[in-house]
Chain A
Amino acid sequence: MATAAFPASEREHYLNKDYGIRSWLLTTDHKRIALLYLLSITFFFFIGGFFALLIRLELLTPAGDLVQADTYNKLFTMHGQVMIFFFLIPSIPAVLGNFLVPLMIGAKDLAFPRINLLSWYLYIIAGVMMLHAMLTGGVDTGWTFYTPFSTAFSNTRVIEAGLSIFVAGFSSILTGLNFVVTIHRMRAPGMTWSRLPLFIWALYATSIIQLLGTPVLAITLVLVVLERAFHFGIFDPTQGGDPLLFQHLFWFYSHPAVYIMILPSMGVVTEIIACFSRKRIFGYKFVALASIGIAVLGFLVWAHHMFVAGISLYSALIFSILSYLVAVPSAIKVFNWTATMYKGSISFSTPMLYAFGFIGLFTMGGMTGLFLACLGVDVHVTDTYFVVAHFHYIMVGSAVMGYLGGMHFWWPKISGRMYPEGWGRLAALTVFIGFNLTFFPQFILGYMGMPRRYWQYPPEFQILNVLSTAGSTILAVGYVLPMVYFLWSMRYGKHATDNPWGAAGLEWKTASPPPTFNFDEPPQVSWEAYDYEHIPAPEEVPVAR
């Protein structure tokens, strides 16, 4: 609506072009849609986090005393479903990816701006369905929906939750489709594949997984719904069905889904390390190909979730060896990040602290993945807290570290303001310490034999559980802090320049915040990615106040 109320000195950009609820709800601007996603996933993050805190509080004592057993089962189920489908999977792609893909490749918008908005509406519809399912009784199947428990035994709102995730899946598919087409068709002149930022490569790999994997999840959930409603018997052994078939179908999507969560984070961290080391990424091609390698190999390892499920000895051997293969591209990335820092000029700004944290937690998560891929060890530790700790190191520790690192790195571009650097560093440190305190004890609990999804547990496990719960409160503070100072900075933060970090990348060559169509003139690219040789470092790392 009106734009007149602005001081003449302030130029027009995507945030002040229009005001009013309609201009947001009907926008096709990828940057505004990114902010719609930011609000929605933050909402779900805090819902999922609230469930997590209740879980940790229940586990403070061995007896089941805070909530009922059924309530506890619903808490961990909905914690998983909300965090995975409504926070982690959309997190970096739908927020940072949406905002940055066109900016980084020099395009005006995504290839299908209206489909982009449709993605968000599908997400919201799915979210409302999930909230409704939660408020009218909840679900207690575990986020994994294992049959025949989910199809024939649970008395909770399985169908509604399943359909909600089915709809959320289409949101994810459409985002992936949009990115793939955009990256293929919308690159600015001169922006060749070998000049693409590695964040784009990572999102490209992610989008492929979203496109190819999510339909399988959708089919699987439909089968669960049909079986539950009409007793089809696909997974029911008394009708000749096979409950293990469900697990194969489910993990065929849900293992690659882990890469949907972690690959974008790897991309973010790659950008940050290059910028704050002022270096070209060591082994650009290998890092790019590693993303594709992870996306492809990630589809061939699903049954490593099923080593004790009753699959044949020989298929277990094959899935174990394939799981080791997918670890190689991840290792390549870690080594290349490390090598990038060699002879760099390293500053310890907030995004870089998150990147350090990412490498630390990802290395720990990846290394413990080697334990789980190892058949002989997996039998003992699978379905225990060892697995819980492992996947939280990857999906929460690393993925959220990357997400927060990216939010800090690009916040000046998104909001046009600087966040307070001191608080930023403090939050990064708090998250790192809180995270390790929460989840490291769980590795020990797992090897000691504490099964996951236990509402009550034998008393010898208590000390480690108390440590974990204590850590989770610190972690919670670490996650709330950025939200507070980001909000604060929108009003009080120092105005950001176009390129406060002295970063390479097209997104830094336009204004902060960018105009609606991103670039005043269509950019022409004639330089390689991470051209830090030709970009002066900022005089000082910008610090607000």
Chain B
Amino acid sequence: MFQNFPLWPISASTMSGRVDALFIFLLVVCGFMTIAIFVLILFFAARYRRRPGFEAEQIEGSNALELTWSIVPLAIFMVIFTWGAVIYFQGRTPPQGADEIYVVAKQWMWKLQHEGGQREINELHVPVGRDIKMIMTSQDVIHSFYVPAFRIKQDVLPGRYTTAWFHATRAGTYHLFCAEYCGTQHSGMIGQVVVMEPAQYEAWLAGGTSGAPLAVTGQKLFAELGCSTCHRSDAQGRGPDLDGVFGKPVLLEDGRTVTVDEDYVRESILSPAAKVVKGFKPIMPTFQGIVSEEQVNALVAYVKSLAQPPPGQATRSANLAAPQTHTEQVH
């Protein structure tokens, strides 16, 4: 309906329709309240303008009215709040099985890497009709990943991961903006999201000069950096076995429990002593300054690949090292 209306942004994701619907609801409700107030004021101004022979009539107030115009707006506000909260919740909860894109922001560019290893700068190619989850971090200051056509925005922070997801519904090329001020070329830190029909996307994937899949790169690094000498699966290791741990809760030395997610793996690489798994000593050296953000991403992708695959897909596919039994299957 609004696609050809030049004062309205393009709508190209499952989220954009929902946000627009709520926005229109707000326009109608707030527009109505605003006009009601303006009409009343203008009416009073005209009706009770100062004229000779007419005196103002003093009125103390009215508790009933005060209550009414406190409670009625509050009730309307709660409807808006609830609706907005539902949409926010959907936006913050990436669906299971989404394709993952690793995003590294830096002054002043976007570096994006697909699970298959394809790298892009300031451009993101994605297929229409699939859930895409972005796992994002920054190499320097805070940035913000903003695609107006998808109605999504998420700040990208140094030192941790934030995530965002979308499900594109229309092929096309859309703006990718940095929405958090990040220095001189903030307004130059823009790129585009190219949404393609699945067949074209497959062609694009195949045609790219891609390196190895991210998890494979991670696996190589895992060996090169010597991680595998301690993180072994034979219970002899000085570090916890990483097979199958991703997505599971683990008990820590201090009695807390954390779920192994991207952020925990990342933190364990860069600040290993922060959350030590029960039964192990804080002997792991930090890799802060040794591995780049991209390498951390590859390691995270590798640890993730050690966990269970979505059913029907071989994880540790032939590309990956010698097949092993999945912890998941042991249980």
Contacts and interface: CB of A to CB of B under 8 A. Distances in A.
B44 A327 contact: no
A457 B77 CA distance: 34
18 contacts: A140-B184, A146-B141, A238-B289, A243-B157, A243-B159, A283-B65, A339-B59, A346-B49, A375-B88, A377-B87, A379-B19, A380-B153, A383-B153, A384-B179, A451-B177, A451-B179, A453-B187, A532-B58
Contacts of B157: 237, 243-244, 309-310
Interface string B274-316: 1000000000000011000000000000000000000000000
Contacts of B159: 237-238, 242-243
Interface string A267-306: 0000000000111101111100000000000000000000
Given A335-B69, A370-B30, A371-B26, A382 B153 contact: yes
A309 B155 contact: yes
Interface of A: 64, 69-70, 73, 140, 142, 146, 148-149, 152-154, 237-238, 240, 242-244, 277-280, 282-286, 307-310, 313, 316-317, 320-321, 324-325, 327-328, 331-332, 334-336, 338-339, 341-348, 356, 359-360, 363-364, 367-368, 370-371, 373-380, 382-384, 444, 447-449, 451-458, 460, 532-533, 537, 541
Contacts of A328: 70, 73-74, 77
A342 B142 contact: no
Contacts of A379: 19, 88, 91, 151-153
A377 B26 contact: yes
Given A346-B48, A374-B22, A286 B153 contact: no
B148 A448 contact: yes
A369 to B, nearest CB: 10
Contacts of A453: 181, 186-187
A371 B30 contact: yes
A378 to B, nearest CB: 8
Given A345-B50, A376-B88, A383-B153, 8 more contacts: A376-B19, A379-B88, A383-B180, A384-B179, A448-B7, A448-B148, A451-B179, A458-B190
Contacts of B80: 324, 370, 374
B240 to A, nearest CB: 22
B235 interface: no
B33 interface: yes
B23 interface: yes
A345 B54 CA distance: 7
Contacts of B140: 148, 153
Given A69-B187, A380-B148, A448-B9, A533 B37 contact: no
A460 B9 CA distance: 11
B59 A282 contact: yes
Contact of B141 (A153, A282, A325, A348): A153
A449 B61 CA distance: 44
A155 to B, nearest CB: 9
B187 A457 contact: yes
Given A240-B271, A308-B154, A328-B77, A73 B184 contact: yes
A280 B59 contact: yes
Nearest to B26: A371
Given A367-B30, A370-B30, A451-B179, A237 B153 contact: no
Instruction: Kindly name the residue among A240, A284, A370, A382 whose own CB sees the greatest number of chain B CB atoms within 10 A.
Output: A370
A282 B183 CA distance: 50
Contacts of B49: 346-348
A529 B328 CA distance: 76
Given A346-B49, A374-B22, A447-B9, A455 B61 contact: no
A359 B41 contact: yes
Contacts, number: 267
Given A237-B159, A345-B48, A153 B107 contact: yes
A140 B154 CA distance: 23
B59 A449 contact: no
B22 A377 contact: yes
Instruction: Kindly name the residue among A325, A346, A384 whose own CB sees the greatest number of chain B CB atoms within 10 A.
Output: A346
A307 B77 CA distance: 18
Given A282-B59, A345-B56, A376 B84 contact: yes
Nearest to B140: A153
A332 B158 contact: no
Contacts of B8: 447-448
A358 to B, nearest CB: 11
Contact of B73 (A331, A343, A455): A331
Q: Top 7 closest A-B pairs, CB basis?
A: A237-B159, A449-B148, A376-B87, A375-B88, A374-B84, A283-B61, A454-B187
Interface in B69-88: 69-70, 73-74, 77-78, 80-81, 83-88
Nearest to B71: A328
A376 B61 CA distance: 37
Contact of A237 (B19, B34, B57, B160): B160
Contact of B77 (A140, A152, A279, A324): A324
Nearest to A151: B141
A516 to B, nearest CB: 35
A380 B151 contact: yes
Contacts of B19: 376-377, 379-380
B254 interface: no
Contacts of B41: 338, 341, 356, 359
B224 interface: no
A347 B44 CA distance: 11
A445 B178 CA distance: 16
Given A280-B60, A449-B175, A310 B48 contact: no
A344 B44 CA distance: 8
Contacts of A244: 157
Nearest to B16: A380
A243 B153 contact: no
Instruction: Kindly name the residue among B87, B142, B185, B271 whose own CB sees the greatest number of chain A CB atoms within 10 A.
Output: B142
Given A448-B9, A454-B186, A324 B78 contact: yes
B74 A324 contact: yes
B204 interface: no
B188 interface: yes
Interface in B140-171: 140-142, 144, 146, 148-149, 151-155, 157-160, 162
A449 B7 contact: no
Contacts of A367: 30, 33-34
A347 B148 contact: no
Contact of A313 (B22, B66, B92): B92
Nearest to A349: B50
B141 A148 contact: yes
Contacts of B22: 374, 376-377
Contacts of B274: 240
Contacts of B289: 238
Interface string B246-278: 000000000000000000000000010010000
